[in-house]
Every structure is written in C-alpha cells, then in structure tokens.
Amino acid sequence: MAPTEPAWPILGQMLRVCLLSVMAVLGTAAVASAATPRDGRFVGPTSQRTKPANMGFTISGEGELIRRITFPSVARCGRGTRLRLTTLVRKPVKLVVGPRIELRGSLSGPLEKGSTYRAVFRMDGRFTGRSSARGTWGLRAVVRNRRGRVTSRCRTKTVRWRASRR
C-alpha cells in the first residue's frame, strides 16, 4: 500500500485560490466605483493666479456627462499684454473612457475698442476618486482689430487644476 498524502495541503491551496479570487473581485469593484464620479458640482484652484481663482464643472448623467465648465485663464500675448478670459462651456460633453476627461473646444467674442478674439482650448484630466479630479488646461487665442487684422497671438502655459465635489 502506497502512503497517501493528507488532504490538508490540497484544502489549503484551494482556500488560498478562493481567497485570492474574492480579493480580486472586491478590488475590481472598488476600482470601478472610484472611476465613476458622483454627480454634482466640482470646484477647485488652478496654478494660475487669476480672479476668480477657482475653476469648476458639473457632472451629471450618473457620472457620464460634464456640463457647465467655468475656467478663468490669463493668456500672455505679444508685446507684454495679457488676455483675461473666463471660458464657459454649457454644452454637455460625454466623458471619455471611464475616469478620463478629454475636452477640446473653441470660443470667440468681442473685446474693447472693437477688437475680437477667437480661442481654442483643451482640458485633460482624470478623476482620482468619486469626489475629486485633477488635470491640465491650455488656451490659445488670436486677437483681431475691427478691420480683421491680427494684432496679437496669445496663449497660456500649461495650467494645472484640481477639483473636489461641493
């Protein structure tokens, strides 16, 4: 008769596999819930010293849409001038792949003395939890006089931002 091994090592190995499986499932659930932001208003500071100092955006649609983005910016232009803009986006934007934020857009409007501007912006970032996010922002603008001639080209450096749910 051949000696048989006790059943305990096999049971221990099966128990270890079961525990690892449960931990993997719980870990995946925790990551998934952290990746989906809670609906509500997110507000926070930027790396620029602007007035007002805070940027903000609203999340809705069970964490799938960004609505109403407000971002104050100061862009440096040629000849030492600065262009102060508050970017306001009202159109809902669908979040890209889970917790990532990728937004590109443009805006234009009047300035003083009949001048106008046309700007393009980008907002990138990610949700670091259900109630917090961080990322970067950039803006480039062209200023034209009332005759339509380009008088200035402006841009921000990369602006860092962070926001939390209020």
Question: pLDDT tens across 52-61, in order?
Answer: 778 999 888 8
Q: What percent of the chain has pLDDT over 90?
A: 40
Q: Is the pLDDT of residue 18 over 50?
A: no
CA gap 139, 87 in Å, rounded:
9
Q: What percent of the chain has pLDDT over 70?
A: 77
Least Cα distance to 140 among 92, 98, 108, 93 occurs for 108
Q: What is the pLDDT of residue 25?
A: 42
CA gap 154, 4 in Å, rounded:
81
CA gap 113, 143 in Å, rounded:
12
Q: What is the mean pLDDT of residues 12-29?
A: 44
CA gap 20, 57 in Å, rounded:
39
70's CB contacts (< 8 A; 6+ apart) are: 55, 56, 57, 86, 87, 88
Q: What is the mean pLDDT of residues 7-30?
A: 45
Name the one residue in this structure whose structure tokens are 């890209």: 96
> Residue 80 class from Cβ within 10 Å (0-12 exposed, 13-18 middle, 19+ buried)?
exposed
Q: What is the pLDDT of residue 35?
A: 59
> Residue 83 class from Cβ within 10 Å (0-12 exposed, 13-18 middle, 19+ buried)?
buried
